[in-house]
């Protein structure tokens, strides 16, 4: 992503009050990502160090959304080492105050539209079977991009040492043309 992208302002013009700007995070955003993840009460909370490191080392495969300049959502992801045409979404979070605006989907669209230029053609993520909101976000993403979504088993409850729920793998693609509109 080249700089800031306003997903509300037409033509990428200057953002005004109420506009959401989606851009790559900076190291200084790590604390805000940690807070948003913590406050979600849904995500597995990583250490604050992990979010700082993510913003430092994986900023080009991650995005942050700002509403009136304040962080209100993020996606952290990485390029899969064993398949360079695949970027994995690790976490998607939207602050409670910004929910219900389709922000998760807008962040995914923005992130993957830019990743297309780097050769990424597939999105992978894992979702627990009871996380209906995430399943809906990623299903909607596949629909908007007019491509396939394939769910498969990945990690069972027995794979985890701490009683974590099963995680299903969702693979979406091939991604070719970003949605318009």
pLDDT of amino acid 12: 42
| Secondary structure of residue 54 in the 3-state scheme | helix
Question: For residues 13 and 150, which has the higher predicted lDDT (pLDDT)?
Answer: 150
72-123 pLDDT tens trace: 999 999 999 999 999 999 999 999 889 888 999 999 999 999 999 999 999 9
User: How far is the C-alpha of 48 from the C-alpha of 35, rounded, in Å?
Assistant: 9
| Secondary structure of residue 181 in the 3-state scheme | coil
Half-sphere exposure (CA, 13 Å, Cβ side) for 4? Answer: 14
Q: Which helix or strand (DSSP H or E) is residue 172 part of?
A: strand 167-173
What share of the chain has pLDDT > 70, as a percent?
90
User: How far is the C-alpha of 4 from the C-alpha of 48, rounded, in Å?
Assistant: 25
Q: Which helix or strand (DSSP H or E) is residue 135 part of?
A: helix 132-144
Whether pTM > 0.75 for this model: the answer is yes
Domains of the chain listed by start with CATH number = 5-173 (3.40.630.30)
41-71 pLDDT tens trace: 888 889 999 999 999 999 999 999 999 999 9
- Reply yes or no: is the peptide bond before residue 174 cis, omega within 30 of 0: yes
């Amino acid at each position: 992503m080249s700089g800031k992208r306003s997903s509300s302002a037409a033509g990428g013009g200057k953002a005004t009050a109420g506009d959401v700007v989606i851009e790559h995070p900076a190291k200084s955003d790590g604390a805000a990502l940690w807070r948003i993840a913590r406050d979600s009460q849904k995500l597995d909370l990583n250490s604050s160090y992990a979010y700082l490191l993510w913003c430092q080392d994986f900023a080009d495969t991650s995005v942050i959304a700002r509403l009136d300049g304040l962080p209100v959502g993020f996606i952290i992801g990485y390029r899969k080492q064993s398949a360079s045409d695949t970027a994995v979404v690790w976490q998607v979070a939207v602050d409670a105050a910004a929910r219900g605006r389709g922000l998760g989907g807008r962040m995914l669209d923005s992130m993957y539209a830019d990743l297309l230029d780097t050769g990424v053609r597939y999105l992978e993520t894992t979702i627990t079977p009871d996380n209906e909101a995430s399943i809906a976000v990623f299903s909607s993403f596949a629909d908007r991009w007019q491509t396939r979504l394939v769910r498969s088993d990945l990690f069972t409850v027995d794979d985890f040492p701490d009683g974590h729920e099963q995680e299903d793998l969702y693979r979406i693609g091939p991604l070719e043309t970003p949605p318009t509109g």
